[in-house]
Structure 1
């Protein structure tokens, strides 16, 4: 483990994280990247909300305050999900290293792999849920947002879209190792909502572009 990977993600520099992401190490990978897309989406929503304040926007103060607070919380949660994803993937690797010399060991190993894969799929599924929540904030903010920064609402929607699509493939790559039928079904359903999120994010971006040219 390098010095960079030993640091919690919140304490790493952008360069340090990207160096580790580019390195030949198991984690971080796509799952952590999905969570960081989500964190950026939330941060952009919060930034636009903070620019949508003052006398000009007084009638929307309550809504904007709620959006800003929820976006800040979502950003913090997303960073935790990035940490969780790295830990979950490490658990998958460790499960594959379990002994398989006897029938009992083979069964125990298979159960451990399934459980670890379920945890590894659960984190990006949570990222999908987070992307849905942040996208809803962007949708609610856009009609009242400061027109000078509405391009950042589109940026937030696109970042949430990237979070959702990146998270989806990180759910799907683990599904084949999950032997519990109910868990498999639930995680599959959670991943399927991404198509709808993509359409909603695209609609936000399209609306922003219309406003920019009107």
Structure 2
């Protein structure tokens, strides 16, 4: 599991000539880092100076910690889902019956593989939402990390979008492809715009 690997071990696997882990897992780790940065900034926004914001900050800490766990789960889920696609393409197709079974398996695997990045985009949006809430009250000494969190979430959403696209175009059933596109088209745009806006606000606060 990615969540229990050392960073060096994970990066070695990512760099290897193996299909998993790949961009989907990397995207999930972007989101996990974004959530962790939000939690860190929130923990620096505690104590007497920030007492009036204590309830908000504690809610953000709890939510961000939960998103870290969920993002790591999605990293493993993406790896598993993509392996399912690979395994489906390897199924035998020497008879019409086997060919039909292989086609059906590939179809199911591709749809399943698109679900994880879809969930990840929503999670990235939640990271940006938390970061945006925190920005208003955050400890100024670590305000740059709010922008870092937003950028990490943006990268997660953008990468997840590409992973959805590559699965959608590989689906042969036009109706299924259309349904999946309807569910996911434009999903990342709101996240990206919100992240860009927040980064701009942070830079404006830093630079005056």
Q: TM-score of the superposition, structure 2-length normalised? A: 0.95
CA–CA distance in 2 between the matches of 1:91 and 1:210? 46
Aligned residue in 2 for 1:94: 87
**SS class of match (1:160):** helix
Shift of 1:52: 0.4
Aligned residue number for residue 5 of structure 1:
none
3-state DSSP of counterpart to 1:206? helix
Question: How many Å apart are 1:188 and its aligned residue?
Answer: 4.7
- Is 1:48–1:146's contact at 8 Å kept on the other side of the alignment? yes
The yes-or-no answer on 1:212 pairing with 2:179 is no
Tell me how far apart the structure 1 counterparts of residues 178 and 71 of structure 2 sit (CA, whole Å). Answer: 23
Establish whether residue 128 from structure 1 lines up as the match of residue 125 from structure 2: no
Asked if structure 1 preserves the Cα contact closer than 8 Å seen for 2:27 and 2:160, the reply is: yes
1:164 to partner: Cα distance: 0.2
TM-score (norm 1): 0.93
Q: Can you give the 5+ residue segments of structure 1 that lack an aligned partner in the other structure?
A: 1-7
Name the CA distance, whole Å, in 2 between partners of 1:199 and 1:141.
17
Query: Which runs of 5 or more residues in structure 2 are unaligned?
Result: none
Of 21, 30, 42, the residue aligned with 1:37 is 30
Deviations 1:116-148 (A, max 9, x none): 011111111111010011110011110011111
Moved over 6 A (4+): none
Q: Report the alpha carbon displacement of residue 12 of structure 1 after superposing the two structures with TM.
A: 1.0
**Given the alignment, which residue of 1, 4, 7 partners 1:11?**
4
- For residues 14-29 of structure 1, the aligned pairs below 5 Å read 14-29=7-22
Give the number of aligned pairs: 207
Note the aligned Cα RMSD (angstroms): 1.3
